[in-house]
Amino acid sequence: MIGGRKAAFSNPNSRHRMKGRTVLWNPGCDHAGIATQVVVEKKIWRESKQTRHHLGREAFLKQVWSWKNEKGDTIYKQLKVLGSSLDWDRACFTMDEKMCHAVTEAFVRLHETGNIYRSVRLVNWSCVLRSAISDIEVDKIELTGRTMLTVPGYDEQVEFGVLVHFAYPVINSDERIVVATTRVETMLGDVAIAVHPDDIRYKHLVGKECQHPFLDRKLPIVSHSFVDMSFGTGAVKITPAHDQNDYEVGQRLNLPFISCINDEGLMEAWCGRFAGMKRFHARKAVLQELKAIGLFVTTAENPMVVPVCNRSKDIVEPLLKAQWYVKCDEMAQNAAAAVQNGDMRIIPNIHEKTWYKWMSGIRDWCISRQLWWGHRIPAYFVSIRGREKGNDACDDSWVVARTEAEAMQKAIKKFNVPRSEITLHQDEDVLDTWFSSALFPISIFGWPNQTKDLKEFYPGTLLETGYDILFFWVAKMVFLCQKLTGKLPFTDIYLHSVIRDAHGRKMSKSLGNVIDPLDVINGISLEKLHNKLLSSNLDPAEVQRAKEGQKRDYPNGIPECGTDALRFALCAYAAQGRDINLDVLRIQGYRHFCNKIWNACRFVMMTLGKDFKAEPEFKVNKMATEVDLWILSRLSTAVRLCNDAFENYEFSKATTACYNFWLYELCDECIKPVMRDVNPEVQCATKRVLCFCVDSALRLIAPFMPFIAEELWQRLPAGSHDNRLSICIAPYPESEQYNWADTTVDNRIQFAMSVVKAVRSLRASFDLTAKTKLDCIYVLSNDSEVADDLKRCAEMIAVLSICNLVKINSNEYPVKGCVRFPVSDKCRIILPIEGIVDISKELKKLSLKKQKIQAQMGQLLEQKKGEDYLKTPEHIRYANEQKYLEFDNALEEITATESALRVSAEDDE
């Protein structure tokens, strides 16, 4: 649904263009390093049972390019079908030559200024991918206790959520110190045992040493305030090479860093009897050995969070690796200041708190990835003949350059040796995809060259993206672009909601709830949805689970909804700060709304006639009716609401304004009664108002529904617009020009509509269809002002109430065979029903309805009295409250109708 989301929330672009501004929405795709490589590796394995290592780097990259050329334009296709107004001639890809040049230049410049450096630190490591991964590629799985999880590369599930207690013997003592860990296999990398300085249980042991039971290694017992005395035994094993907290403690206390797990997830060669074992097989083996030598104490269930790579589904392993890093502290301070000073807005501002939190707790950014698909790092390791090999873990033995030739020149100068003695080897790693994506605002315009486009379009105005990548992408763009150009890349950051399924679940291929926007637009059968799964990279078990999810959610497939309905729905959902639970049935409802607009416009054009010509400049005619003035007032209000909503990025408010005007005001209350007047001058004035309102309303809704708006706008009579080629460049209605808002007229029509609603309510109670046209309705009021207002609206009331005539304060109303119904304390209606309704039957029917509703209300009240009702999920309790209110309103209507019928029956007697 990414394409649908992008298209829907690009509405400000369309409106700004309609307001005469220069608008550029530049299409571009990143190369999605890890995601793409995983997909292609799975494809190769499925087809030929080969890995990328069998193929070699060059052959594998050819396969990736082939896959990219075949599949890579899916999002572009979606965006085009969705009517996205992009400059397609500018489409770019992060692996294009222009973009690669910018990436290399940025890396070199940032290294020269000290903002990129090389260091050995703990990274998130996927043993399946054999690569470091970013935090966004790590899913945190919360466990409440002992849990068996499936791990790639293991035939049996692996146990997690268990705390293992075991003892280390204290040297030269009979004492033992018991530690607790959820990762007992990493005890082979233990270098110390830590206790809290205030823990009286262990104070006498601080400074002593323990003997490692499997290795020739002594572990000092140290004190540190980071230890939680209440967790486990209060004594903590320190493994700096495999735990972030231990890493920081190891740095402070100058402890050794010993890795016991290698890149492939196997125990290192020096691990004795455990050498070469898979890490989770070693977990079992270490536990068994501890039991055998009497050092095992006990196990206990332990709630914990397990980090899982969302690409490979592997358990993430913290490993020490020499990597390239971006220094972020200064850039983060500048990014925080930009928001604080108002130079850059985050919308909605509820996300500012997150922004400041991340900027204040920033850590340097690891940009190395052990992949083959991506931008190869422009760093060269320098070997000098006759000298000992340098340390590749720091900058000393590296040069960073734009080309190998430049690298050679830098190496000659740095090491002061002739070219013949130098051998260069370019880093095999590639850059994190977010690095090249962070340069997007400048690289698309030709940076580092000072191009015309760069001067004209940079910095930009608006970035629209999901709040879930505020730090991973948005912050990185602000960091790099501001550092490299001295300017912020944009002034407004609009963060849209994350789209979830109708049940509130995150969309996932394995759940079968990922929705392709094209399937919503065109419709798709359940069988074809299943076929899409079969052609994906999902495992057979995941395919079956996804099929079941699809069958449950879309038993009849997905109905055809159309582009405009989908775009409108996504924006209607987009209340700021809330995720979107996407319900296809709601989108289908907006398709019916599109039909309503289409039919309304057809009716209006038929009413206008072939010879009608609109005025070049609309003015209110003195012959305009009350309904004409009212619909202009409502149009003015809709224009104001839309403009205010767009300015504040509150798209759901704009869609509500459009929806209400089209459906409830123009279609339901205006179109039907407009042509009742026989006076040709009045008819002409009304036609001009009607044409103007439709033209304006189409331009209002065009940013949301470009296709139907364009089609209908082009069909409007000559003169209704100024011969522009497209509604996309027609002027967007401005609040200053639509100044016909009139609360007096609004209130007058609103009161008239309360009369209509009262009549409609009675008609519904008596099951009178639209075919049953009433002869006359009598409206009585003891307020002369109200009566005068109603007389102005009598024609409208008659049409909307489906009757021939409405009489206001007439003395001619019949005494018998009528229903009297109060509209307000100032007005009541008299509805002749003799020969139309059997009063005694209606009373019996209403009594049964009343009893049924009262029983349902009683059931809800009993539920609320239950002891466990407060434990019921909040959304269910809210739904019950809404049901009760609906029942209460229905009961009130039935009671009023009963009273009216009884009065009528008494009069007849």
Question: pLDDT for 425-442, tens place per residue?
Answer: 999 999 999 999 999 999
Same domain, 852 and 826: no
Tokens read off for 299: 């196990």
Pairing of strands 499-500, 580-581: parallel
Distance of CA 841 to the CA centre of its chain: 54
Tokens 């000298």 found at: 387
Of 586, 562, 558, residue with least CA distance to 708: 562
Tokens 């999920």 found at: 873
Question: Can you tell me the distance from the alpha carbon of 78 to that of 83, in angstroms, rounded to the nearest whole number?
Answer: 9
Question: pLDDT for 798-830, tens place per residue?
Answer: 888 889 899 998 877 776 777 778 888 888 888
Tokens read off for 904: 């009528």
Q: In this structure, is residue 356 part of a structural domain?
A: no
User: Does pLDDT of 1 surpass 50?
Assistant: no
Question: pLDDT for 739-759, tens place per residue?
Answer: 999 999 999 999 999 999 999
Dihedral (CA of 360, 363, 365, 371) sign: negative
Q: How far apart are the first and last CA of the chain?
A: 66
Same domain, 161 and 223: yes
Question: pLDDT for 180-208, tens place per residue?
Answer: 999 999 999 999 999 999 999 999 999 99
Helical axes 651-659 vs 626-647, angle rounded to 10°: 170
* Angle at alpha carbon of residue 254, lines to 250 and 259, rounded to 5°: 50
877, burial (CB in 10 Å: exposed 0-12, middle 13-18, buried 19+): middle
CB 186 within 8 A of CB 260: yes
Same domain, 708 and 810: no
User: Does pLDDT of 548 surpass 90?
Assistant: no
Helical axes 651-659 vs 680-701, angle rounded to 10°: 160
Pairing of strands 580-581, 774-781: unpaired
Share of the chain above pLDDT 90, in %: 62
CB 132 within 8 A of CB 124: yes
Burial 503-522 (b: 16+ CB within 10 A, else e): eeeebeebbbbbbbbbbbbe
* From 90-94, 529-533, 722-726, 751-755, the region with the lowest mean pLDDT: 722-726
* From 213-217, 416-420, 512-516, 856-860, the region with the lowest mean pLDDT: 512-516
Question: pLDDT for 473-487, tens place per residue?
Answer: 999 999 999 999 999
CB 307 within 8 A of CB 124: yes
295, 318, 341 - which closes a domain: 318
Instruction: pLDDT band for 522, please (50, 70, 90 cuts).
Output: very high
- Bond preceding residue 680 cis, omega within 30 of 0: no
Q: 600 lies in which domain range? A: 581-736
Q: In this structure, is residue 673 part of a structural domain?
A: yes
* From 163-177, 394-408, 409-423, 793-807, the region with the lowest mean pLDDT: 793-807
Same domain, 624 and 650: yes
User: Does pLDDT of 296 surpass 80?
Assistant: yes
Q: In this structure, is residue 829 part of a structural domain?
A: yes
Same domain, 193 and 314: yes
Same domain, 730 and 751: no
* From 303-307, 316-320, 377-381, 683-687, the region with the lowest mean pLDDT: 683-687
Question: Can you tell me the distance from the alpha carbon of 356 to that of 70, in angstroms, rounded to the nearest whole number?
Answer: 42
Side-chain-side CA neighbours of 300 within 13 Å: the count stands at 11
Same domain, 663 and 774: no
318, 344, 360 - which closes a domain: 318
* pLDDT value at residue 722: 61
Q: In this structure, is residue 535 part of a structural domain?
A: no
Domain of 276: which CATH number?
3.90.740.10
Question: Can you tell me the distance from the alpha carbon of 122 to that of 241, in angstroms, rounded to the nearest whole number?
Answer: 7
Question: pLDDT for 270-281, tens place per residue?
Answer: 999 999 999 999
* pLDDT value at residue 762: 84
* Angle at alpha carbon of residue 664, lines to 663 and 668, rounded to 5°: 90
User: Does pLDDT of 900 surpass 80?
Assistant: no
* Angle at alpha carbon of residue 126, lines to 263 and 28, rounded to 5°: 125
Same domain, 854 and 719: no
Give the residue-averaged pLDDT of 282-310: 95
Of 716, 606, 610, 590, residue with least CA distance to 662: 590
Domain count within the chain = 4
Same domain, 158 and 293: yes
| 855 phi and psi angles, rounded to 5 deg | -65, -40
Instruction: pLDDT band for 867, please (50, 70, 90 cuts).
Output: confident
Give the residue-averaged pLDDT of 388-408: 92
* pLDDT value at residue 761: 86
Q: In this structure, is residue 679 part of a structural domain?
A: yes
Pairing of strands 345-347, 492-496: parallel
Rg over alpha carbons for the chain, rounded to the nearest Å, is 36
* From 728-737, 844-853, 863-872, the region with the lowest mean pLDDT: 863-872
736, 755, 778 - which closes a domain: 736
Q: Provide the 10 A C-beta neighbour count for residue 466.
A: 18
User: Does pLDDT of 838 surpass 90?
Assistant: no
Tokens read off for 849: 């309805």
Q: In this structure, is residue 193 part of a structural domain?
A: yes
Same domain, 157 and 189: yes
* pLDDT value at residue 721: 61
Q: What single letter denotes the amino acid at residue 33?
A: G
* Maximum distance among all Cα pairs of the chain, rounded to whole angstroms: 123
DSSP-derived secondary structure for 288-303: HHHHHTT-EEEEEE--
Burial 312-325 (b: 16+ CB within 10 A, else e): bbbbbbbbbbebbb
Helix (H, G, I), strand (E, B) or coil at 436: helix
Mean pLDDT score across all residues of the chain: 90
* pLDDT value at residue 539: 76
* pLDDT value at residue 407: 97
User: Does pLDDT of 26 surpass 70?
Assistant: yes
Same domain, 728 and 751: no
Q: Provide the 10 A C-beta neighbour count for residue 546.
A: 23
Helix (H, G, I), strand (E, B) or coil at 477: helix
How far is CA 431 from each of CA 207, 339, 365, 712, rounded to the nearest angstrom? Answer: 44, 28, 11, 49
Of 832, 805, 837, residue with least CA distance to 818: 832
* From 172-181, 391-400, 816-825, the region with the lowest mean pLDDT: 816-825
Same domain, 864 and 773: no
Q: In this structure, is residue 297 part of a structural domain?
A: yes
Helix (H, G, I), strand (E, B) or coil at 856: helix
Question: pLDDT for 48-97, tens place per residue?
Answer: 999 999 999 999 999 999 999 888 788 888 889 998 889 999 999 999 99
Q: In this structure, is residue 706 part of a structural domain?
A: yes
Q: Provide the 10 A C-beta neighbour count for residue 48.
A: 10
User: Does pLDDT of 364 surpass 70?
Assistant: yes
Per-residue DSSP letter, 369? E
Give the residue-averaged pLDDT of 839-853: 84
* pLDDT value at residue 675: 55
Of 499, 517, 496, 462, residue with least CA distance to 79: 517
User: Does pLDDT of 613 surpass 90?
Assistant: no
Helix/strand/coil percentages in the chain, nearest 5:
50, 15, 35
Within 339-429, strands assigned E span 345-347, 365-366, 368-369, 379-384, 398-400, 422-426
User: Does pLDDT of 12 surpass 80?
Assistant: no
Which distant-in-sequence residues (6+ apart) come within 8 Å of 548 by Cβ? 512
Pairing of strands 147-149, 158-160: antiparallel
* pLDDT value at residue 819: 79
Tokens read off for 635: 């149009």
Question: pLDDT for 616-675, tens place per residue?
Answer: 788 888 888 888 999 999 999 999 999 999 999 899 999 999 999 999 999 877 776 655
Pairing of strands 192-195, 209-211: unpaired
Between residues 676 and 379, the one the model is more confident about = 379
Domain of 636: which CATH number?
1.10.730.10
